[in-house]
């Protein structure tokens, strides 16, 4: 598909909030299904083709890259399996999908879980409510078999959405969200999927790793239980977590052209696969835009892009650069910086979000065994 039209691009940069970016379109699965091509496609493309590249002790979930905005994969819930596309989100902790109990427009145009069709479903009277930066859901909790990257997790708790207000989720190409952050931030005390994988010994190591492709290319994945050494040839830098909530780390500073422009006294950041852009405190946004020669809304001359410097994020005493090719969004002669102002207060100050713009530059390892994030520069 063609990159978002100019107005859509401006809206994305100006209105984007946590979790889900603004875009409109159908998923590959939906399009194939509407044209009667889905079954043939699935036969020609095995459910988990990426696993052939990894040892049998690890399981890879291939992700579809939609315009560098969202990365989503397919899971199944129930017996027999009901399939759903989900965002693998390191910025939240709950698994939920739409259910047949939901009549919101956002549910009616997505796959919906029907507990009556699953012989292994166990219902509860417990409710769940989750509010993201954009979009929200309410529903009930249930237990069932969840299969992710060929890993079968029995009696996994998940949310069955009964309402998805507004139109944010209506336009999303995925059905639900699978959170990969810590249990401490899970709504209604639900145990996250990866915690059950670890508890049941379903992964060889208590970690997972993520590769996000660039320029809409294929090949993105989440690898559960292993590190793919072919993506770590430039070495791994390990950064200890500062809180076991999100994948939260301490950032030393942010510099441009060798000059510190933000976070001069240190600040907190999270590595979040569920956020498309780089979300920064409003107090720091103007400094960043000014240092890069952009207008107050982030617009910049496309002629200037080739001469822009890297934005360097200093973590645990080491610099992690993001080049202009990554942080400038270009379309039809229009250029805008991929920074979004947003205030998210924490006990340690306002939070920075290192979203997909940052993650695409690194192979990222989320290590629960020693509570660290590993970063390996990609070519």
With respect to residue 1, please indicate whether it lies within any of the assigned structural domains: no
Same-domain status, 136 and 63: yes
Same-domain status, 183 and 310: no
Same-domain status, 93 and 211: yes
Same-domain status, 38 and 136: yes
Model pLDDT, residue 30: 43
With respect to residue 151, please indicate whether it lies within any of the assigned structural domains: yes
Same-domain status, 303 and 274: yes
Beta 278-280 vs 267-271: how paired, if at all?
unpaired
Q: Cα 187 vs. chain centroid, distance in angstroms?
A: 18
Among 172, 198, 224, the domain-final residue is 224
Same-domain status, 17 and 143: yes
Quote the strand ranges of 149-302, DSSP E.
Answer: 151-163, 176-179, 207-211, 221-224, 237-244, 247-256, 259-262, 267-271, 278-280
Among 191, 206, 224, the domain-final residue is 224
Same-domain status, 62 and 194: yes
Same-domain status, 138 and 258: no
Output the 3-class SS for 23-78.
Answer: CCCCCHHHHHHHCCCHHHHHHHCCCCHHHHHCCCCCEEEECEEECCCEEEEEEEEC
Would you name the residues annotated as active-site residues?
Answer: 89, 272
CATH number of the domain enclosing 149: 2.40.70.10
Same-domain status, 260 and 200: no
Q: What domain count does the chain have?
A: 2
With respect to residue 154, please indicate whether it lies within any of the assigned structural domains: yes
In sign, the C-alpha dihedral spanning 245, 250, 256, 262 is: positive
Q: Whole-angstrom Cα distance, residue 344 to residue 238?
A: 25
Among 194, 224, 254, the domain-final residue is 224
Same-domain status, 171 and 243: no
Model pLDDT, residue 51: 35
Tens-binned pLDDT, residue by residue, of the chain (379 aa) = 212 222 233 333 333 333 333 222 333 444 445 555 545 544 444 433 343 333 334 699 999 999 999 999 999 999 999 999 999 999 999 999 999 999 999 999 999 999 999 999 999 999 999 998 778 999 999 999 999 999 999 999 999 999 999 888 999 999 999 999 999 999 999 999 999 999 999 999 999 999 999 999 999 999 999 999 999 999 999 999 999 999 999 999 999 999 999 999 999 999 999 999 999 999 899 999 999 999 999 999 999 999 999 999 999 999 999 999 999 999 888 999 999 999 887 777 789 999 999 999 999 999 999 999 999 999 9
Q: Whole-angstrom Cα distance, residue 262 to residue 117?
A: 53
CA 20 → CA 17, 70, 170, 273, 314, distances in Å? 7, 8, 11, 10, 26
What is the DSSP secondary structure assignment for residue 338, as one 8-state letter?
S
Enclosing domain of residue 29: 6-224
Model pLDDT, residue 258: 95
User: Residue 80: is the preceding peptide bond cis (ω within 30°)?
Assistant: yes
Model pLDDT, residue 58: 67
CB atoms within 10 A of CB 5: 12
With respect to residue 49, please indicate whether it lies within any of the assigned structural domains: yes
With respect to residue 326, please indicate whether it lies within any of the assigned structural domains: yes
With respect to residue 245, please indicate whether it lies within any of the assigned structural domains: yes
Same-domain status, 219 and 347: no
Same-domain status, 367 and 247: yes
What is the DSSP secondary structure assignment for residue 113, as one 8-state letter?
B
Model pLDDT, residue 350: 83
Provide the b/e sequence for 80-99 (b: ≥16 CB within 10 Å).
Answer: eebbbbbbbbbbbbbbbbbb
């Amino acid at each position: 598909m063609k990159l978002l039209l100019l107005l859509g691009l401006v809206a994305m940069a100006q209105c984007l909030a946590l979790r889900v970016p603004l875009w409109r379109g159908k998923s590959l699965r939906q399009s194939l299904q509407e044209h009667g091509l889905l079954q043939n496609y699935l036969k020609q493309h095995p459910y988990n083709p990426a696993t052939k590249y990894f040892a049998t002790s690890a399981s890879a979930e291939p992700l579809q890259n939609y315009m560098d905005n969202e990365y989503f994969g397919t899971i199944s819930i129930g017996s027999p399996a009901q399939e759903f596309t989900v965002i693998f989100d390191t910025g939240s902790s709950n698994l939920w999908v739409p259910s047949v109990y939901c009549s919101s427009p956002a549910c009616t145009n997505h796959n919906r879980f029907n507990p009556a069709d699953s012989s292994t479903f166990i219902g509860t009277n417990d409710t769940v409510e989750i509010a993201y930066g954009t979009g929200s859901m309410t529903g009930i909790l249930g237990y069932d078999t969840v299969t992710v990257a060929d890993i079968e997790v029995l009696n996994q708790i998940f949310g069955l959405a009964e309402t998805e207000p507004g139109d944010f989720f209506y336009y999303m190409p995925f059905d639900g969200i699978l959170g990969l952050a810590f249990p401490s931030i899970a709504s209604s005390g639900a145990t996250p999927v990866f915690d059950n994988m670890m508890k049941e010994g379903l992964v060889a190591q208590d970690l997972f790793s993520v590769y996000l492709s660039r320029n809409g290319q294929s090949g993105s994945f989440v690898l559960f239980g292993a590190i793919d050494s072919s993506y770590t040839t430039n070495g791994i830098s390990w950064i200890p977590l500062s809180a076991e909530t999100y994948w939260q780390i301490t950032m030393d500073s942010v510099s441009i052209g060798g000059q510190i422009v933000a976070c001069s006294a240190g600040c907190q950041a999270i590595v979040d696969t569920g956020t498309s852009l780089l979300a920064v405190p409003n107090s720091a946004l103007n400094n960043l835009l000014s240092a890069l020669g952009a207008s107050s809304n982030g617009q910049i001359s496309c002629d200037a892009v080739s001469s822009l410097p890297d934005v360097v994020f200093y973590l645990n005493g080491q610099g992690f650069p993001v080049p202009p090719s990554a942080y400038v969004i270009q379309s039809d002669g229009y250029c805008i910086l991929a920074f979004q102002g947003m205030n998210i207060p924490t006990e340690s100050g306002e939070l920075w979000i290192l979203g997909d713009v940052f993650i695409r530059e690194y192979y990222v390892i989320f290590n629960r065994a020693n509570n660290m994030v590993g970063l390996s520069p990609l070519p």
